[in-house]
Amino acid sequence: MIPDEDFITDENIPGPTKEEIRCMVICKSEVSPDDIVVDVGCGTGGLTVEFAKIAKKVYAIDRNPEALKLTEKNLKKHGVYEKVNLIEGDALQILDSELDKVSDTIPDFDILMIGGSSGDLTSIIKKGYKKLKNKGKVIVTSIMLETRVEAVKTLQTLDMIPEVVEISISKGRIVEKGTMMLARNPVTIVSAKKTLIY
Ligand code: SAH
C-alpha cells in the first residue's frame, strides 16, 4: 500500500482514504488483474490508485472537477494513469444508462466501489447493481452511521448478503518519552457479492 504522505492532497478535497483502510478495502474487494472497477467519488484518488495498480481498468467518477484533477495528479505520480478513465459528473446519472449516454462508455464491471454518494446511496447501489457482473462486488466505505445502515438495507433488498466491518485504528507516533498511540476515526466497510441463481 502507498503511504498516506505519498499522495498529493488538497485541503478542499477529502482523502486519501487512510492506508490501513485502503488495505482492507482492496482485500475485501478481491480485485484481480482481469477486473473492471468503478470508483464512485474518487476524491483524492486514494482508492483509485490502489485499484488501478491491480485491476485491468478503473472508471473513476466524481462530480467535483477539482477532485478529478487531483486524482489525475496522483495517478500520474504513481504511474497508473493509463489504466483509468476519469469521468466528471453525478454518479447516479452516469450509471443510469437510460438517462446518460456517457454510461455507454462504462462496460459491465466487477467491482462497484462507493466512497461518496451525497444522499443518493440507495439509487447509486441499485443503478450500479444492474451493470455489476454476476459474482461482482459492491463496497461502500462510510464514516457516517446513516450511510452504513442505508448500505446494508439496500444490499438486502437486492438479495445480497452484506458483510459489515468497522475498523478502528490507532497509530503510534514516536515522541521523546516513547510511542504515543493516537486513535483515528472508525470507518465501516460494507461489502457484498452479487450471486445470481439461474
Ligand atoms: N476514496 C477517496 C475519497 C472519497 S471522498 C480517496 O481515497 O481519496 C468522496 C468524494 O465523493 C468527493 O470528492 C465528492 O465530490 C464525491 N461525491 C459525492 N457524491 C457524489 C456523487 N453523487 N457523484 C459523484 N461524486 C460524488
Average the pLDDT over 17-26 and give the result.
97
What pLDDT is attached to residue 28? 96
Among residues 112, 111, 110, 132, the alpha carbon closest in space to that of 121 is found at 112
Structural domains of the chain, with CATH? 4-193 (3.40.50.150)
What pLDDT is attached to residue 101? 57
pLDDT digits (tens, 9 = 90+) for 135-179: 999 999 999 999 999 999 999 999 999 999 999 999 999 999 999
Q: Which residue has the higher pLDDT, 102 or 4?
A: 4
The Cα angle at residue 191 between residues 165 and 93, in degrees rounded to 5: 130
pLDDT bin (cut points 50, 70, 90) of residue 52 is very high
Average the pLDDT over 95-123 and give the result.
84
Of all protein residues, whose CA lies closest to atom 26 belonging to ligand 1?
A: 41
What pLDDT is attached to residue 196? 86
Cβ of 14 below 6 Å from ligand 1: yes
Is the pLDDT reported for residue 97 higher than 70? no
pLDDT bin (cut points 50, 70, 90) of residue 96 is confident
What letters, b where the CB count within 10 A reaches 16 and e where it falls short, cover 151-187? bbebbeeeebebebeebeeeeeeeeeeeeeeeeeeeb
Q: Kindly report the backbone phi and psi dihedral angles of residue 55, in degrees, each rounded to the nearest multiple of 5, phi listed first.
A: -75, 170
The mean pLDDT value of the chain amounts to: 95
Contact (CB, 8 A) for 66 and 12:
yes
Of all protein residues, whose CA lies closest to atom 4 belonging to ligand 1?
A: 43
Cβ of 61 below 6 Å from ligand 1: yes
pLDDT digits (tens, 9 = 90+) for 62-91: 999 999 999 999 999 999 999 999 999 999
Among residues 57, 61, 56, 23, the alpha carbon closest in space to that of 45 is found at 61
Average the pLDDT over 124-140 and give the result.
97
E strand or H helix at 87:
strand 84-88
Q: What percent of the chain has pLDDT over 70?
A: 96
E strand or H helix at 27:
helix 19-29
- Expressed in angstroms and rounded, the spacing between residue 62 Cα and the centre of ligand 1 is 6
Contact (CB, 8 A) for 2 and 25:
no
Q: What percent of the chain has pLDDT over 90?
A: 93
Mutational test site, ligand 1, from 63, 143, 144, 189, max ligand atoms within 8 Å of CB: 63
Cβ of 91 below 6 Å from ligand 1: yes
Task: Kindly give, in sequence order, each residue whose CB lies less than 8 Å from that of residue 132, ignoring residues fewer than 6 positions away.
Answer: 108, 109, 110, 112, 138, 194
Helix residue spans in 58-186 (DSSP H): 65-77, 91-95, 121-131, 145-157
